[in-house]
Amino acid sequence: MTLPLKTRHLTNARATNFYYSFVFLPAEKRRAIEAVYHFARRGDDITDGSLTREESGKEIAEYRGALDECFAGRGVTPELQALAKSIQRFKIPRQPFEDFILGLEMDLNGIRYKTFEELLLYCYRVASTIGLISIEIFGYRNPSAREYAMNLGKALQVVNILRDLESDARRGRLYLPQEDLDRFGIRPAEITEGRYSDPFIELMQFECDRASSYFDRARECLAPEDRRAMVAAEIMGAIYWRVLGRIRARRYNVFGERVRISRPLKFWTAMSVYMGREWFR
């Protein structure tokens, strides 16, 4: 069995928010996180909408098979070999990987979410799981680091959903819960068509406040003795916190030009967090 993982070097990933959190890690941990990143990105490729249902099902089966190989200490590509080595070196449990794949299948099945609780399960599977894997690599002393990782992952994923609302909707994926759309009187077609209105602003403010609440929960769970070990995660949190702030600064208008922050600002943010600045102030 082979899995055609695309070769992506970390130095070519500067356009992503992940690069700026990886860059300050010690070499061994950076290589391990990069291996996880490659594996997760391959999963994202499967769900990008370009494959037929039959093709994507086959790809997911091969993806699970690749995971089997990694947990058996093998890998058929350099990227998978690196992941297998990282799993053994840092004793990463399998369950977060399995849950991540379940999240990919939720995307492939085109699941629409009726409630926010249902959406949170998706956020856990596609984002919190990566956090749970990552903290094993970073190292931690307080078990509260797990709650930190889960809450931060949910915060980041909600920000992702809000930032990419228009592009996802045009691909037939609308992640916002139906109960929230109903609450503010928004029809799915209004988002697909990019209609910016007062009810839409109210909906977005409501969802942004939710994202903020998960950032708050994550910070409350981060024990003082683990703050330094979690600096890479904190950099990621700081960058997404700025993305959330940019959405608010645009009065929640996520239509048209994609909400983003510049590379220099990302690097400055990463440096600030690395030097100990409290990014959420």
pLDDT mean over 176-183: 97
pLDDT in tens, 99-112: 999 999 999 888 89
pLDDT of residue 53: 80
Residue 129's SS3 state is helix
Ramachandran angles phi, psi of 247, nearest 5°: -60, -45
Tell whether the model's pLDDT for residue 7 goes beyond 50: no
The better pLDDT of the pair 11, 31 is held by: 31
- The pLDDT, as a whole number, for residue 18 is 78
What does the pLDDT look like over 198-227, one tens digit per residue?
Answer: 999 999 999 999 999 999 999 999 999 999
Tell me the residue type at 35.
A
Please count the CA atoms within 13 angstroms of the CA of 80 that sit on its side-chain side.
Answer: 23
How far apart, in Å, do the first and last CA atoms of the chain sit? 49
Alpha-carbon gap, residue 38 to 80, rounded angstroms: 9
- Backbone φ and ψ of 210, nearest 5°: -65, -45
Helix H or strand E encompassing 275: none
Other Cβ atoms within 10 Å of 142 Cβ, number: 15
> What is the rounded average pLDDT for all residues in the chain?
91
The domain limits of the chain are: 18-274
What pTM was estimated for this model as a whole?
Answer: 0.92
Give the integer Cα–Cα distance in Å for 100 and 129. Answer: 6
- Contact in structure between 223 and 144 (CB atoms under 8 Å): yes
pLDDT-based confidence at 86, cuts 50/70/90? very high
What pLDDT, on the 0 to 100 scale, is given for residue 257?
93
- Kindly indicate the confidence band of residue 80, based on its pLDDT and cuts at 50, 70 and 90: very high
What's the pLDDT score for residue 8? 39
pLDDT the model gives residue 15 = 46
**Contact assessment for residue 130 and residue 44, using Cβ atoms and an 8 Å cutoff:** no
The per-residue pLDDT for range 242-253, each reduced to its tens digit, is 999 999 999 999
One-letter amino acid of 31:
R
What number of other Cβ atoms are within 10 A of residue 10's Cβ?
17
Contact 273, 238 (CB under 8 A): yes
Q: Number of helices (H) and strands (E), helices first, in the chain?
A: 14, 0
Instruction: Provide the CATH topology of domain 18-274.
Output: Farnesyl Diphosphate Synthase (1.10.600)
Tell me how far apart the alpha carbons of residues 230 and 79 are, in angstroms, rounded to a whole number: 24
CA distance 210 to 204: 10
10 falls in which pLDDT band (50, 70, 90)?
A: very low
What's the CA gap between 252 and 208, in Å, rounded?
9
Query: Is 263 in contact with 13 (CB distance < 8 Å)?
Result: no
pLDDT for the residue numbered 281: 62
For residue 5, what pLDDT is reported?
A: 37
Nearest to 30 by CA among 219, 223, 235, 221: 235
The residues near 173 (Cβ < 8 Å, ≥ 6 apart) are 107, 110
Tell how far CA 72 is from the center of its chain. Answer: 26
State pLDDT tens for residues 50-60.
788 889 889 99
